[in-house]
């Protein structure tokens, strides 16, 4: 991610205090791409589901929204004093900087690889209990065979498992 940081020279910076929101889930008004310079960010889905913490300088935030032209898929907030570079038009930044685009592509490919490997492991471990984990097949199919023409909404509409 050091390469991405080098490409940010001259970009405006945004400083955040602990608890300050960088991106708000569902926001459709912004097309910014952020690159972490220092500090730490927490990615939160919904009101209280912590997805991950980002601490690596050069980490890119907001890339999914920029690449897909969709609202931000999660909120991102500072968990300590943080400084980010801001590309006000993330799409233009990625088009002008192929090295940054390649770094983002590698990151997204790594995430997809980890998710599909994890789901395949779950499928293998629970093969005898196919009724309760039948949705794993559907998720893997969606990951592996989705095209731009498909109209698929993310998420799950299934009922929660009963507590036994």
Tens of pLDDT, residues 77-91: 999 999 999 999 999
Whole-number Å distance between alpha carbons of 90 and 33: 5
Mean pLDDT of the chain: 84
Whole-number Å distance between alpha carbons of 21 and 18: 9
For residue 162, name the pLDDT band (cuts at 50, 70, 90). Answer: very low
Looking at residue 118, what is its pLDDT? 83
Tens of pLDDT, residues 21-79: 999 999 988 899 999 999 999 999 988 888 899 999 999 999 999 999 999 999 999 99
Whole-number Å distance between alpha carbons of 60 and 66: 11
Whole-number Å distance between alpha carbons of 74 and 46: 7
- Note the pTM of the prediction, 2 decimals: 0.77
The domains located in the chain, with CATH, are: 2-102 (2.60.120.10)
Taking the CA atoms of residue 81, residue 69, residue 108 and residue 11 in that order, the dihedral angle to the nearest 10 degrees is: -40
> What does R_g of the chain's alpha carbons equal in angstroms?
18
Among the listed residues 49, 40, 50, the one whose alpha carbon sits nearest the alpha carbon of residue 19: 40
Q: Are 74 and 45 in contact (CB under 8 A)?
A: yes
């Amino acid at each position: 991610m050091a390469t991405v940081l080098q490409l940010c020279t001259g970009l405006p910076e945004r400083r955040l205090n602990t608890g300050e929101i960088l991106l708000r889930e569902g926001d459709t008004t912004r097309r910014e791409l952020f690159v972490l310079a220092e500090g730490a960010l927490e990615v939160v889905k919904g009101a209280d589901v912590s997805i991950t913490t980002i601490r690596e300088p050069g980490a890119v935030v907001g890339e999914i929204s920029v690449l897909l032209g969709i609202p931000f898929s999660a909120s991102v907030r500072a968990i300590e004093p943080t400084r980010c570079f801001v590309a006000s038009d993330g799409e233009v930044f990625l088009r002008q900087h192929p090295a940054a685009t390649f770094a983002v592509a590698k990151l997204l490919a790594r995430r997809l690889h980890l998710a599909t490997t994890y789901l395949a492991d779950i499928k293998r471990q629970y093969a005898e209990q196919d009724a309760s984990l039948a949705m794993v097949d559907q998720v893997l199919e969606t990951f592996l065979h989705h095209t731009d023409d498909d109209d698929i909404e993310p998420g799950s509409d299934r009922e929660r498992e009963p507590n036994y």
